[in-house]
Amino acid sequence: MDLPTIANFAEAFAVIVAVVFGMVQLRQPNAQRRREAAFALMHSIQSPQMLLGILIINRLQNAPAKTGIDALPENDQVDVTALYSGTLQQSWRKLQRYAEELREATARPTRWEWFQWLAEQVDRHGASRTNLQTGAYIAYRDWKP
């Protein structure tokens, strides 16, 4: 091989390396955005009280009677009842863009649909006066779209 041929191969190799490097660089912001979204979600729900509530609930038998919850130490009762709809709404606000982009990227419009639906229902109905007076379960138990 002569020198110009070797130079052409080296140049072609350099172009290929540059293209591969560019593709890797384009993927990094997406990965970083996913990591940041996961961190934001975990940060929003990982208060000490929230974690204690989750641990206590995991130790409970399925569907304990009121007396079972009332028998817990007072601090545990407070921690269990700290789990509320605000976590759901905040999680959706933080992850909405990610879910929408994921749907587009995978051509699956049904991804995260129930999570979104539930968050939207809490937004729509959660703060109404009716709910505060009668409770969401009673006010919306016969709900139809």
Q: What is the pLDDT of residues 5-24, one digit of tens each?
A: 888 888 888 889 888 888 88
CA distance 122 to 130: 13
pLDDT digits (tens, 9 = 90+) for 39-70: 776 666 667 777 787 788 888 888 788 888 88
The per-residue pLDDT for 10 is 84
- Whole-number percent of the chain with pLDDT over 90: 1
pTM confidence score:
0.40
61: left (phi over 0), alpha (psi -120 to 50) or beta: beta
Please determine, for residue 129, whether its predicted confidence score (pLDDT) is greater than 50: no
Is 128's pLDDT higher than 60?
Answer: no
Q: How does pLDDT run across 101-126, given as a tens digit for each residue?
A: 888 888 888 878 888 888 888 777 66
Neighbouring CB atoms inside 10 A of 106's CB total 9
Range list of H helices, 1-145:
3-45, 48-59, 66-70, 74-80, 85-106, 113-125, 129-134, 136-140
Amino acid occupying residue 89? Q
